Amino acid sequence: MADNIYVTKSFLPPIKEYEEYLKQIFDNCILTNQGKLLMQLEKKITSFLNVENFQYVTNGTLALQLALDSLNIKNGEIITTPFTYVATTTSILWERCEPVFVDIEPDNFTLDPAKIEKAITPRTKAILPVHVFGYACDVETIQKIADKHELKVIYDGAHAFAARYKGRSLLDFGDITTCSFHATKLFHTVEGGGCVVKNDIVNYRLNLAKCFGHDNDAYFQIGINAKQSEFHAAMGLANFGHLEEILEKRRIVSETYDSLLNDAVGRPKKQNGLEYNYAYYPVVFKSEEELLSVFEALNAEGIFPRRYFYPSLNKLSYVKGDFSCPISEDIASRIACLPLYPDLALHDVERICLIIRNVIGKRAFNYSVSLKSV
């Protein structure tokens, strides 16, 4: 019987390459506290992104919390998207701020800048959009709004590593952009995350904050332990040499899906100027019922896509406020991500597409029309 196919499968480098880095750890006996391998990985990523300041941290959730803390955003409102993973909202709540949900664009499912200004109040401290699935937010318009109202901009770029917009890393916008190197991401360090920080003083504060707030025996501020270990950095270094290979293989799988599903499901629209990273393969079905029927048929064959992202976060029971986000709620009910990873066999992609088309019928539908009418 064939192995199950899950929505993702973590890339692992040849074990010999990882062992070479492990040998350095065992020789040095330095396991954490900003070790040699960690500093080497930070330098590689900084150069790859072509940014001034990059901080490697424990995970993408802590990266968001550190971003809010280092920008001194406390006890206020943060405008954000309801269509994302729950960690985006959780980080806002954890820092004792209030999420204010603004609906998404119908074409690429990122925060709709046309709806931001109506949500701004005297208590608004920041805008926190998400480059969902690696598609770019409208960074120019969002920045103009932020400048006009003197607000900070923090981008959740958990999906955006290796994506570029108009020749520039998609992580190089706003005051801080965070990223995730979780095992499910296209580039991973098993667990991990990072922050790209524009301002040098903010970068210094964030660096202190991730190290308990002190530098050796000099204590400057409240901090937390968001340092990463040498073992995680070793995985990142081993994987980094395969990044171009990973991106190319993901592109081939994605374009195979495109060719087989182009008239059957809805897809987000890529922005002009975006060099996509093939982070996910999201598809929009005609209805939630159709999605569930497709899941039932795929699951019966040992194939397990996932509902990214469900439910729309404005519907969370523990979030205060009543926010109308009909586009997010609609999309969240009928979107899923299909399996996508470098060594996914193309004949399995064909099998997945055949099952989907058999369930929904070989017909086209204009999903954007229904979205824009919501």
Q: What are 108-147's pLDDT values in tens digits?
A: 999 999 999 999 999 999 999 999 999 999 999 999 999 9
Is the pLDDT reported for residue 173 higher than 70?
A: yes
CA distance 30 to 74: 36
Residue 1 — very low, low, confident or very high, per pLDDT cuts 50/70/90? low
Asked whether residue 160 is assigned to any structural domain, the reply reads: yes
Task: Give the residue from 199, 224, 240 where a domain finishes.
Answer: 240
Mean pLDDT score, 26-45 = 96
Cβ neighbors of 117 (< 8 A, separation 6 or more) are 145, 149
Same domain, 257 and 325: yes
Same domain, 94 and 131: yes
Same domain, 109 and 127: yes
Peptide bond connecting 311 to the previous residue in cis, omega within 30 degrees of 0: yes
Please report where in the chains the tokens 């979780």 appear, as a residue. 182
Asked whether residue 4 is assigned to any structural domain, the reply reads: no
Same domain, 163 and 20: yes
Asked whether residue 169 is assigned to any structural domain, the reply reads: yes
Tally the domains of the chain: 2
Is the pLDDT reported for residue 370 higher than 70?
A: no
Task: Give the residue from 240, 271, 290 where a domain finishes.
Answer: 240
Same domain, 233 and 326: no
Mean pLDDT score, 348-373 = 71
Same domain, 89 and 235: yes
Cβ neighbors of 309 (< 8 A, separation 6 or more) are 83, 84, 85, 132, 332, 335
What are the helix (H) ranges across 271-340?
288-300, 326-334
Same domain, 144 and 52: yes
pLDDT at 216: 84
Same domain, 202 and 318: no
Same domain, 229 and 316: no
3-state secondary structure of 322: coil
Asked whether residue 90 is assigned to any structural domain, the reply reads: yes
CA distance 134 to 54: 19
Same domain, 222 and 255: no
Looking up residue 76, the CATH number of its domain turns out to be: 3.40.640.10
Residue 194 near residue 54 (C-beta atoms within 8 A): yes
Range of the domain at 33: 15-240
Residue 263 — very low, low, confident or very high, per pLDDT cuts 50/70/90? confident
Same domain, 190 and 323: no
Q: Which residue has the higher pLDDT, 373 or 284?
A: 284
Same domain, 48 and 62: yes
pLDDT at 178: 98
Is the pLDDT reported for residue 207 higher than 80?
A: yes
Nearest to 336 by CA among 374, 373, 290: 290
Asked whether residue 2 is assigned to any structural domain, the reply reads: no
Express each pLDDT in 276-285 by its tens digit. 999 999 999 9
Percent of the chain with pLDDT over 90: 93
